[in-house]
Structure 1
Amino acid sequence: MTTVVKVTKVYDEIIEFIAAGTTPQSVIDFKISAEAKERLDDLVYAHHTGELTPDEKKELDCFLTLEHIMRLAKARAYTYIKIE
């Protein structure tokens, strides 16, 4: 019997959030889960200690890109809230 373990990337929650559809308020309120935060902390620690694997580096880079996009989206969402 083979056991399949799904590895959740730190950025999967952001992708799921976007895919589910959003409102300006939900964008403003969005935060990653404690589990994703812990994974991110592990990736950052591995980066600082030089123990980051190439796959982990890709994961961290992708998260940082999406996190930047989310910051921009949050800033834009505030303008929509003020307009309404």
Structure 2
Amino acid sequence: MNISVNTAKVYDEIIEFIAAGTTPQSVIDFKLSDAAKDRLEDLVYRAKTESLTGSDQQELDYFLMLEHIMTLAKAKAHQYVNPQ
């Protein structure tokens, strides 16, 4: 998989987060950096208003996959914090 420099930064943020050790609450509280959010917003905006290059589309797809994984992890973490 060809990962751009910007995507690698997001990947590194998530790896660092996991490697540092997590708790259910820290998973719930995890947020990407402002730089990563800005890059994602740029890609989404450009995808809606113009054609993305192949590498930009791949980067957007990668971001969306990571976002989905974190959403699932946060939902699971809520189950640990608030067991029913």
Asked if Structure 1 and Structure 2 have the same fold, meaning a TM-score greater than 0.5 normalized by the shorter chain, the answer is: yes
Paired residues of 1:11 and 1:59 also in contact (CA < 8 A)? no
- The alignment partner of 1:11 has SS state of helix
Q: How does 1:4-83 map to 2 (within 5 A)?
A: 7-9=5-7, 11-12=10-11, 13-83=13-83
The CA deviation at 1:36 is: 0.8
Q: What SS does structure 1 have at the residue aligned with 2:32?
A: coil
Deviation at 1:20, TM superposition (A): 3.5
Could you say if the C-alpha distance between residues 15 and 62 of structure 1 is closer, same or farther in structure 2, counting changes exceeding 3 Å? farther
Structure 1's unaligned 5+ residue stretches are 1-5
Provide closer, same or farther for how the CA distance between residues 81 and 30 of structure 1 changes in structure 2, counting only shifts above 3 A: same
Q: Which runs of 4+ in 1 moved over 4 A?
A: none
Give the CA RMSD over aligned residues.
2.0
TM-fit CA distance, 1:77: 0.3
Q: What percent identity do the matched residue pairs reach?
A: 62
Aligned residues: 78
Q: Unaligned 5+ residue runs, structure 2?
A: none
Larger deviation, residues 65-74 vs 8-17? 8-17
Which has the greater radius of gyration?
Answer: 1
Q: From the superposition, tell whether residues 57 and 18 of structure 1 become closer, same or farther in structure 2 (CA, over 3 Å).
A: farther
